[in-house]
Structure 1
Amino acid sequence: MTVRMRARAAEPPPAELGRSPGPPTFDGFYHAHFRSVTTQLWAYTGDLGQAQDLAQEAFCRALARWDRLARYDDPVAWVRQVAWNLARSRWRRLRTARNHLLRQRRQEPEVAGPSPDRVAIDRALAELPANQRRAIVLHYLADLSVAQIALQEGVAEGTVKSWLHRGRAALATLLNDNTEGVGDV
C-alpha cells in the first residue's frame, strides 16, 4: 500500500502529461507575463514605478474580464494593448495639464530686489516702538493726516504728533548709525 502511494506521488500532474485541465488560471497568467509587460512599459515610459502601475492596472482590467480573455488565443496581447493605451492616456492627461498650467501662469514683470536704502529703512522701522512705527507708516506711506491717524488709533491728535516727532528722531538716529562706516572702506 505504501508502495502504491509513492508511485502515485511520483506521477506527473495531468497538465504535464499533455492533457489540458481547462483554461489557464489568472494567477498563472499574471505571474507568467507581468514582468515582460512591465519591462516593455518601462522602456516606453522611462519610469519603472509608472510602468508597474500601468501594468498592474491593465492586469486588473484583465481580471475583471478573465472568463472571456482566457479563451483568447493570446490574452497577453490584450493586456499589453490596454497597458499601452493607459500609458498614452496618462501622457495626454499630463500634457493637457501642463499646457493648462502654462496658460494660467501670468507673466509678471521681474521686479528688482529692494535697494540698500530700503533695507536700511525697513530695518530701522522694525526697531521703533509699535505706536511710533504705525504713525510713521500711516502718515508717510498711507498719506493719512494726523487727525485721521488719531481717529483710527483712538488717541488725541497731540499723541499722534508726539509719536511722529519721536519716531522721526529715532529713525534719523538709527539711519545715521546704519550708514556710518559704509563709505569708510
Structure 2
Amino acid sequence: MPTGGGGMSVALALPPGDDGARRRTTDRSFEQFLSENYTALERFLQRQCFDPHLAEDALHEALIVALDKWETVSRHEKPLYWVRKVAWYKLQTLHDRQKWKDTVPLENVADDVVEPRTAHEVERLVLHTARLLPAQHRAVFALMLEGDTDQQIALQLGLGEKTVATYKATVRRMFREQLSEGAPDGPR
C-alpha cells in the first residue's frame, strides 16, 4: 500500500476490469501526487481549521474522492487546485456537522491577546484572528500564506479576483486591528 507524505496509507483501487498496466500507471501517478502535495494540502486545511483531526478527516475524504476520479483529475492543468477545492468543501461540511458539538465560544478562546514578542506569540495571534474570519476569508488567508496569487486563489475557491482582493484587505485590516488593540502602547 503506498504511503502519502504525511504517513497516510492509501488503498489504491480502480474499477474491476482495468488492465494491470493502467492500474499501475494510475497508482504511480497518484502516489507521486501525494508525495509532492500531501504536506501542502494538510497545511492548507490546518490553517483554516483549529481541530487538526477535523482537518485530517477532510483531507482524507478529499483524497478518497480524488483517487476515485484520478484518471480525470490528473489531466487537469492543476490537479492540486482541484484537490484543494474538494478538501476545502469537505472541511466546510465536516465543520458544519460539528459546529454544535462541544464547541468553545470563540469569545472565550484568547481574550488575553497582547503584542507578540516571540514566534509562538505571533502564531497565537494569527490563530486567534483567523478564528474571527468567516470561512471563505480563512480559505483566502490560508492560500495567501501559501503564496498563491489573487488569480490562483480565485480559481481554487471559485471566487472573483476582486472578491479575493477584498477578502485579503479585510484579513489585513483585522490583523492590524488585533495588533493595535493588543499592543500595550496603543495603535502603531
Q: TM over 0.5, yes or no?
A: no
Q: For CA contacts below 8 A with separation 6 or more, give which structure has more relative contact order.
A: 2
> Of the two, which has the highest radius of gyration?
1
> With structure 1 as the length reference, what TM-score do the two structures score?
0.38
